[in-house]
Amino acid sequence: MRVLVVTSAALFVRGGHMVIAEETVAALRRAGHEADLFVTPQNRFGRQVSAYLATWLSDVGLTADGQAIDRVVSFRFPSYAVRHSHHVCWLNHRMREYYDLWEAFAARLTPLGRLKEGVRRQIFHFLDGRLLRRPGVRVVAQSRTIQSRLLRLGGIRSEVLYPPAPAFAYRTDGYGDYIFAISRLDPLKRLDLLVEAAALVKHQGLRVKIAGSGPDEARLRGRVRELGIEDRVELLGKIPDDEMIDHLARCRAVFFAPRDEDYGLVTLQAFRSGKAVVTATDSGGPTELVEDGRNGYVAPPDPRAMAACLDRLAQDESLASTMGHQGLADAQRHSWDSVVAELVRL
């Protein structure tokens, strides 16, 4: 089967959705299908309509030499605007500022700005509703969190299919003296929870390493200085995949507590490395995989609650190991072979 995987991307931004799209192409090829990746534009605020139109007008029915494309698998907005008679939308998310993040987004705007963005919001609700309900489009959410948003904000029904961890050479080298976190440094990812918790842990030998870059980096570095924990909290910046795998292999556990995350590959990457995950009760996707006290901790999004979880893991290496091995067993249930079988099914 010839399958075209379609997603969108903002300029100079690489998110988890792109990793999933690339891994989907690789998995399709391993299964014997012809597969390629097509990246559509995702324009800036105020110019999104042109991105939807450009995607709608894209010809994804035939290859350059006239061979038929049998299946299209799209991801996030506006990639699902592509037209094809056999179209699976494996949805990451719609434009969240116009859906689940609308209240927080609108609160930052002037009255005129709220009016203008409110009109745009209505336009995109209309467009998304029409696009995701077209005949021939099968909507599959990447988590129950996404499925719930689709139903609550649009009345769109969907199935759920979790993306497995990227096919890296994960391993477990032990349970070191530090908590590892990797994420884009953005306020929604709430790495400040980890920084604040690090200042409250009683086990002074526990360290924290945070990998990633983004708009929240300067604020996080400043807070580390203010709290006087520069000797225990290290911001590594952006790191390559092999270094990420190395940290996952050696850390005591992984912290991943974003606010209402769509899904979050970090959870399964940690599990594949035999590591427990500490997340928050309002973190969305990660809470669908992390079971409190079994393969990690699900705590209130409060620094003291997080610090208590980190202290338990710091004081008991065997606990971290037991939870990590349970996470590893749980991760085995998610395979790219089963994902490919679902995506090519009519």
Are 248 and 133 within one domain? Answer: no
| pLDDT tens by residue, 333-342 | 999 999 999 9
Q: Give the pair of three-digit tokens for residue 265.
A: 């590959």
CATH number where 198 lies: 3.40.50.2000
Are 150 and 253 within one domain? Answer: no
Are 138 and 237 within one domain? Answer: no
DSSP letters for 5-49: EEEEE-TT---HHHHHHHHHHHHHHHTT-EEEEEEEE-PPTT-HH
Pairing assessment for the beta strands 87-91 and 137-141 based on DSSP bridges: parallel
Are 282 and 141 within one domain? Answer: no
Are 137 and 207 within one domain? Answer: no
| pLDDT tens by residue, 269-309 | 999 999 999 999 999 999 999 999 999 999 999 999 999 99
At residue 43, does pLDDT exceed 70?
Answer: no
* Mean pLDDT value across the chain: 93
Domain assignment of residue 152, yes or no? yes
Domain assignment of residue 63, yes or no? yes
Are 201 and 137 within one domain? Answer: no
Are 95 and 242 within one domain? Answer: no
DSSP state letter for 187? G
Are 221 and 74 within one domain? Answer: no
| pLDDT tens by residue, 177-202 | 999 999 999 999 999 999 999 999 99
The boundaries of the domain holding residue 87 are: 2-161
CATH number where 156 lies: 3.40.50
DSSP state letter for 162? P
Are 76 and 216 within one domain? Answer: no
pTM for the model: 0.90
| pLDDT tens by residue, 78-94 | 999 999 999 999 999 89
Are 135 and 250 within one domain? Answer: no
Are 224 and 123 within one domain? Answer: no
Distances (CA, A) of 16 to 21, 93, 144, 146: 9, 12, 17, 15
Indicate the SS3 state at residue 141.
strand
At residue 2, does pLDDT exceed 80?
Answer: yes
Indicate the SS3 state at residue 73.
strand
Are 28 and 130 within one domain? Answer: yes
